[in-house]
Amino acid sequence: MTDNPLLRPWDAPHGLPPFERLRTEHFEPALREGMRRHREELSAIAAQAAQPDFDNTVAAFDRAGRLLARVAAVFYNLTSSATSPELQAVQRAMAGPMASHQSAVYMDAALFARLDLLHEQRTGLTLAPEQRRLLDRIHLDFVRAGARLDPARQVRYAQVMEELARLTTRFAQNVLHDESAWQLPLRGGADLAGLPESVLAAARQAASDRGLDGHVITLSRSLIVPFLTFSQRRDLREQAWRAWVGRGENAGETDNRELARDILRLRNEQARLHGRSCFADHALADTMAGTRQAVQGLLGEVWPRALVAVERERQALLEVQRSAGQEGEIEPWDWRFWAEQVRRDRYAINDAEVKPYFRLENVVAAAFDCAGRLFGLRFTPRSDLPVYHPDVRAYEVHDASDALVGIFLQDNFARPSKRSGAWMSSLRWQCRNGPAQLPVILNNNNFAKGAAGEPTLLSLDDARTLFHEFGHGLHGLLSDVTYERLSGTQVLRDFVELPSQIFEHWITEPEVLQRHARHFRTGEPMPLSLVDRMHAARRFNQGYETVRYAASALVDMAVHSLETPEPPADLCAFEAGLLREHGLPHGVGLNHRLVHFQHLFAGSSYAAGYYVYLWAEVLDADGYDAFVEAGSPFAPAVAARLKRHIYAAGNSVEPGAAYAAFRGRPPTVQPLLKKRGLVEAEAA
């Protein structure tokens, strides 16, 4: 054990993980040792002779398991962003034992008896508000993990959770396999027609990453989306689209069709063990929304309006297609291409004109600058800190009084060993319970790296994604709470996208663009006319974006609202039928289909929860208006309230109350509809 660097003291600066000494074989023994010590700590809490009180039981539970937590954080970060077949094998082997450990913790009868007693006495205890919140939260964690079930049901519940952990791990690995296995080599000349230089450069880099010459398109979002937008080769667009939406549906080893059904069957059983008729009811009980009706209510506000908008957009696409001398339906692989033509015609704007102003380094600097002006943070690069991949950048983060508040790691580039998407994770949460911990926060993006010697240029969408993840990062870094369970982004899941989504607003503020969106060759700021045109075009194609998103949310809700133990025999047919019923136009197409929908099946935290982005968008659209009303995107009083009540509060305050404290009133849905151009009078 003692030669395992994960189990020795982490003596790198700031207690960062000993990345350079880590080998695959270190993880399993370290995870097992972490579980053993966690169990030991919990047994000691349960076996105390002293009557339960807040500190010897609730706070002690919050302090337990730190070794396991930090080893697991490193492990899951590597399996997501720098994995290997060997690491994947460890991940599959450990999925079951880790899930069993969770069940054993939350079904420990002696421990729960102490917590339950305190919870019953809660109104009589003299607890600070954060302490009361922690007691409620941990008690609910136990109940939701099966602490109240009878012993026979507990055995079955633990089996269900263990099996779910195995299956969701396999699901994610299958998607990664299908994503990294597919590539479309472009054979020069006609194959390249329409592709702007930035896409060509990214495709050259993707080829060289794979040891190939020429240009390659992969299923990385930052390559496939621009390819579908610009390529004049309809046949190649169709090939690429079919590969993209076919992930997880390829017969053989990586087929997710039965796997997704197995997951749904187990989730239904999980819900039934809790006395619920469907998984959505179980999942939503611990959210702001609370019920299926509330979620359907919000989707119902948006869906019909979005259908009207998308039909208007489809007509515009047909028109421009006809005037280009082409007839026929708009197919899903055509939509982005013709939309780009309309955007160019109507707003005199195109991605290729915008990208040179969004050099990656400039967008990062813009995000840091906004965090500085809003919250007083300063980011200092530290190339000497240990990281797990040469592409990762490390920063020390200081506040306005020059105190160190945390460490920020940013891993921006796509690679075959990284899963798709963009996400924030934590290697260590901020807290003051036990030895005080400064947060170590990580952002992962999947940008296509510019070819050697060439800059990485982002689209506006990419830049927004960077700001989004950075907003989650700030939620982790600015956290200022006592207890670890309430720290950072560990809030209700339909609240967690508020800090990320509200931060997206700053990337398109004219003031921010003027300062940071500078041409990578000339250093000239983005011309005002381009800023104006970008703003004029901001609601363009929002019908398309909104119906695609909302359709995925509807499918998620439908499939998790089924009250029968047995899922539909053919999930793909179920999905197609549902979309037909809801009137999704054929040309729109979905790129989050059930067979590769990682939000739903790579874990359970977003299952029956894809709606959360829209839920949080109600809050972020309404919340950002506070800056508009104050007359400045950096209005200090509004920024101070945003920091205190939203970014710093973690889960220490009930989210509805936290929002109202920031905004001075509850949110309204109108700003969201307006932002998306879904208010009739304002249709763009």
Interface residues toward Zn ion, by CB under 5 A: 497, 500
Residue (494 or 497) nearer to Zn ion, CB: 497
- Candidates 112, 113, 115; CA nearest to 104 is 112
Closest residue to Zn ion, based on beta-carbon distance: 500
Question: Which is nearer to Zn ion, 250 or 500 (by Cβ)?
Answer: 500
Please give the Cα distance from 77 to 522 (Å, whole number).
38
Cα Rg for the chain, rounded, in angstroms? 25
CB of 497 to Zn ion, least distance (A): 5
Three-state secondary structure of 393-413 = EEEEEECCCCCEEEEEEEEEE
- DSSP-derived 3-state class of residue 635: coil
To Zn ion, the closest distance from the beta carbon of 47 in angstroms equals: 41
CB of residue 359 vs Zn ion: minimum separation in angstroms? Answer: 24
Query: Does residue 618 contact residue 298 with C-beta atoms inside 8 Å?
Result: yes
Name the percent of the chain in helix, strand, coil, to the closest 5.
Answer: 60, 5, 35
Q: Which is nearer to Zn ion, 241 or 606 (CB)?
A: 606
| Residue 191 vs 497, nearer CB to Zn ion | 497
Those residues with Cβ within 8 angstroms of residue 486's Cβ, 6 or more apart along the chain or in another chain: 130, 133, 134, 137, 650, 651, 652
- The residues facing 440 across adjacent strands are 407, 428
Q: To the nearest whole angstrom, how small is the minimum distance from the Cβ of residue 468 to Zn ion?
A: 6
Q: How far is the CB of 667 from Zn ion (least distance, A)?
A: 18
Residue written as token pair 């309809």: 234
Q: Which of 596, 616, 393 is nearest to 505 (CA)?
A: 616
Residue 469: active-site member = yes
Q: What are phi and psi of 476, to 5 degrees?
A: -75, -45
**Which residue out of 179, 469, 497, 575 is catalytically annotated?**
469
* Closer of 162 and 497 to Zn ion (Cβ): 497
SS3 labels along 188-211: CHHHHCCCCHHHHHHHHHHHHHCC
Between 129-144 and 109-120, two packed helices, what is the crossing angle to 10 degrees?
Answer: 140
Q: What are the E-state strand segments in 27-112?
A: none
In whole angstroms, the minimum distance from the beta carbon of 607 to Zn ion comes to 16
Question: What are the angstrom distances between the C-alpha of 286 and each of 187, 481, 655?
Answer: 52, 21, 12
Any idea which residue has 């269900």 for tokens? 160
Q: How far is the CB of 592 from Zn ion (least distance, A)?
A: 14
Compare residues 262 and 497 and give the one whose CB is closer to Zn ion: 497
Beta carbon nearer to Zn ion, 236 or 646? 646
Catalytic residues: 469
